[in-house]
Structure 1
Amino acid sequence: MLTQTVDRILDRALEGADLSPEEGVRLLKSDGPMSDFRIRDVADRLRSRQAGETVTYVVNRNINFTNICEQHCSFCAFRRDEGEAGAFWLDTAQILEKAADALRRGATEICMQGGLNPKAKIGGESLPYYVKLAATLKSEFPDLHLHAFSPQEVQFIAREDGCSYETVIAALRDGGVGSMPGTAAEVLDDRVRRVICPEKIDTATWLEIVETAHRLGVPTTSTILCGHVETPEQQIAHLDQLRSLQQKARDRAYPAEITEFIPLPFVGQEAPAPLRRRVGRDQPVLSESLRLTAVARIFLGNWIANHQPSWVKLGLSGATEALKWGCNDIGGTLMEEHITTMAGAQGGTCMTVADLEGAIASINRPICQRDTLYNLLGK
């Protein structure tokens, strides 16, 4: 009976229907190799229909400009207090040096995020610091796309300066920010957030800031931090919030929208002990990650066409497998990844173009480099 129910749901998806949250939960909770086979097959077929056969990647560099942070998220092994061993705050010259190196290595994108450092100010205000950071990078490297500053950072700046989210986002956009990482989403359920990130923005604030970005012409990505204390129901509710956000952007003809979806499996090896003990494992369970990856394609694909795994969290072999479960993009070179690696991820900190292209070639799919907004390069 369960298989028949799953079959009916998957047939509806293949007919082009948007699944209900209840149907999404049913897929996540279905059990057995036959269910896995069918869910994977349908996700792969929908991927082909919605995003095509070509697997893309981006040549980019992460720059985490500081790990000094006022918050204490229970999954984070990256943050430090000022003066603590391992704390850092890059100056402008160091950031420009990293960007120059990225450009020499073929990067088209800089992804820049950092901890919430209360001293990151100019003249006692936060926004001028962040705008100057963006504007300096764009002035020195006008051809690099700046993918920077999460919704949490936007809220932090607005709170520090007593201004609106719209003011912050517009200033960052005008300073050179081309798109916003959809991080700090974690799980868009405040019951979960009270456990894993009680000091972070709540669900409504994350959604408000991302919608404001779309209205102001700033594209965003979207993510979920999965595989810790959340339930299948909460995972699907998160996906439903993202789908509704994308529908709103299109219904209201906003000039920007969500460009991609990325599941980020929890890595707990070096995470603070309370959450690590509660979750009970150090590394992601690949089968669970792949199931959610496939269901996300089925649930979101009509609205968000581009889906990407995290090779940092799953390893390159796991990310390559995810290309068979609904993903059409394998991510970026990153060049230096710190946040997840410090949590104990085993995927590495950097991939070369040859690494990524070799992984894609291993499943016999066409390969193409892209830019941040999924324009194909060299075509």
Structure 2
Amino acid sequence: MRTEFEESLHRAVDGRAGREDLLALAGARGDEVRALLGAALSVRLSGGRSVTFSRNVFVPLTNLCMNRCAYCGFRRDPGDPGAGYWEPGRAARVAAAGEAAGATEVLVSSGDRPEAVHGEAALWLRRHGYRSTVEYAADVEDRILRSTDRVLIHTNVGVLTRDEISLLRPLNASMGLMLESSSPRLSGPGMPHCCSPTKDPRVRLRMIEDAGSLGVPFTTGVLIGIGETWEERVDSLLAIADLHARYGHVQEVIIQPFSPEPGTPMWKSPPPDPVDVAKVVAVARLIFGPSMPLQAPPNIAGPSRPLLLSAGADDWGGISRLTPDYVNARHPWPSEEELSREADALGMRLRPRLPVYPRYLLGGWLPEGLRERALSMSDEEGYARA
């Protein structure tokens, strides 16, 4: 290994790495990659051997969206097959079915503010008595909570204002928004976010900060393989770390690899190399230390799951027995049994959790009404009750 790499790795393991050290680690090659992953795994194991996941059902309220990300296979335009909103009662029925099947999380998602660009979306909302998709989401979530006893809601419906976060907060155990990248370059002409105004990193960082100042347990992360550089990857992780240092609200960080979707402008672009994804996980682990959950979507990771666990990942996010991953529909969920076998093979233990992590549940971050429900669903350590 190069001497400068070894020195940077030692500083990172000790929690003293600066940006230049992290960039040196990102440039790992050959035996350095094994050393990087081994160091990250050592840091991760110092915080325990659990690999967590959440039993969920997925409720995508609408696939209409104001953005046109070059890689997105989820969004539709009005008139496209399958385009539109879920009817108001459908989400509550799916949530009830999930509760009966043992799910503890309802993931509520949607395209970002479709009513801002699609007259059809605005008309549908008005006909049903709503002024916005966010207002519709709040009503749906209230219905879900009133018709169930043992599920909690996690919402990711795009960029929200401070007032909208406050509207949804009493209904949500946690909320989320992927940063994806802190690089404005990716919003330039010909880049994947050029037609996606709410993918401006300043807009997304502002929402993540607002959530922190309002005390909302929050999920965010980075998207790997859409044309970003290693410097941009490191800077994106550091931007998240900076906000978490100020507010303490980031409950998990997702490292998500790009997956080509048919019919999109980036359909023929290659996915990122699994070793590169593992290196991002390892660098993230060294940035955030042993206590921050690092999530890798298990259906997208596929055969790379053991590699990502060995690089420092310790969470698989939500998986469902009832609903597909509507955003990555070509990638079916692995079974709990598969994930458990893979964890066991590495001397780890698969463990179900709630959509709010234990330190936020037990630390009093939830609104009182939701806190009582969550505590009734959790064990003494704050994980999902068997």
Shorter chain as denominator, the TM-score bin is: 0.7 to 0.9
Secondary structure, aligned partner of 2:253: strand
Cα deviation per residue 1:78-137 (whole Å; 9 max; x = unaligned)?
111111123142112221121112112211111111113312635461143222122111
The amino acid across from 2:231 in the alignment is E
The amino acid across from 1:266 in the alignment is F
Name the counterpart of 2:231: 233
**1:301 counterpart = 2:289:** yes
Could you tell me which runs of 5 or more consecutive residues in structure 2 were left unpaired when the two chains were aligned.
Answer: 116-120, 359-382
Cα distance in 2 between the residues matched to 1:340 and 1:12: 38
Cα distance in 2 between the residues matched to 1:111 and 1:55: 20
Name the counterpart of 1:38: 35
Cα distance in 1 between the residues matched to 2:280 and 2:18: 16
The amino acid across from 2:318 in the alignment is G
Name the counterpart of 1:141: 148
Question: Percent identity, aligned pairs only?
Answer: 23
Q: CA deviation at 1:378?
A: 4.0
Contact 1:131 1:171 (8 Å CA) reproduced: yes
Name the counterpart of 1:322: 308
**1:125 counterpart = 2:125:** no
Could you tell me which runs of 5 or more consecutive residues in structure 1 were left unpaired when the two chains were aligned.
Answer: 155-164, 251-256
Cα distance in 1 between the residues matched to 2:101 and 2:344: 22
Contact 2:183 2:232 (8 Å CA) reproduced: yes
| Residue correspondence of structure 1 range 333-372 to structure 2 within 5 A | 333-335=319-321, 336-342=323-329, 344=330, 347-348=331-332, 350-372=333-355
Name the counterpart of 2:5: 6
Cα distance in 1 between the residues matched to 2:33 and 2:245: 29
Q: CA deviation at 1:319?
A: 1.9
Cα distance in 2 between the residues matched to 1:36 and 1:196: 29
Secondary structure, aligned partner of 1:323: helix
Q: Specify which of 152, 158, 167 is matched with residue 171 of structure 1.
A: 167
Q: CA deviation at 1:24?
A: 1.2
Secondary structure, aligned partner of 2:294: coil
Contact 2:52 2:350 (8 Å CA) reproduced: yes
Cα distance in 2 between the residues matched to 1:200 and 1:88: 21
**1:248 counterpart = 2:255:** no
Name the counterpart of 1:20: 18
Q: Where in structure 1 do 4 or more consecutive aligned residues deviate above 6 Å? A: none
Cα distance in 1 between the residues matched to 2:8 and 2:226: 27
Residues 264 and 337 from structure 1, CA distance in 2 versus in 1: closer, same or farther, beyond 3 angstroms? Answer: farther
Secondary structure, aligned partner of 2:173: strand
Residues 377 and 133 from structure 1, CA distance in 2 versus in 1: closer, same or farther, beyond 3 angstroms? Answer: closer
Cα distance in 2 between the residues matched to 1:124 and 1:99: 21
Q: Specify which of 271, 285, 289 is matched with residue 273 of structure 2.
A: 285
Cα distance in 2 between the residues matched to 1:59 and 1:115: 23
Cα deviation per residue 1:235-280 (whole Å; 9 max; x = unaligned)?
0110110010101114xxxxxx00111111111242523x345xx4
Q: Specify which of 104, 109, 115 is matched with residue 105 of structure 2.
A: 109
Q: CA deviation at 1:47?
A: 0.4
Cα distance in 1 between the residues matched to 2:93 and 2:385: 27
The amino acid across from 1:92 in the alignment is P
Secondary structure, aligned partner of 2:317: strand
**1:58 counterpart = 2:54:** yes
Contact 2:111 2:157 (8 Å CA) reproduced: no
Deviates further, 233-242 or 78-87: 78-87
Cα distance in 1 between the residues matched to 2:354 and 2:162: 26
Cα distance in 1 between the residues matched to 2:338 and 2:319: 9
The amino acid across from 2:125 in the alignment is K
Cα distance in 2 between the residues matched to 1:271 and 1:356: 31
Contact 2:9 2:21 (8 Å CA) reproduced: no
The amino acid across from 2:150 in the alignment is D
Secondary structure, aligned partner of 1:244: helix
Cα distance in 2 between the residues matched to 1:328 and 1:71: 31
Name the counterpart of 1:264: 256
Q: CA deviation at 1:16?
A: 2.8
Contact 1:243 1:300 (8 Å CA) reproduced: yes
The amino acid across from 2:343 in the alignment is I
Deviates further, 112-121 or 306-315: 112-121
Q: CA deviation at 1:173?
A: 1.2
**1:181 counterpart = 2:176:** yes
Taking only aligned residues, the RMSD between alpha carbons, in angstroms, comes to 2.1
How many residues get paired? 346
Cα distance in 2 between the residues matched to 1:221 and 1:339: 19
Q: CA deviation at 1:12?
A: 1.2
Cα deviation per residue 1:329-348 (whole Å; 9 max; x = unaligned)?
23322343344434x5xx41
Cα deviation per residue 1:39-98 (whole Å; 9 max; x = unaligned)?
01100011012x311222211122212112232111111111111123142112221121
Name the counterpart of 1:373: 356
Name the counterpart of 1:161: none
Cα distance in 2 between the residues matched to 1:369 and 1:106: 11
Given the two structures, how large is their TM-score scaled by the length of structure 1?
A: 0.85
Cα deviation per residue 1:276-300 (whole Å; 9 max; x = unaligned)?
45xx42x342111111111111122
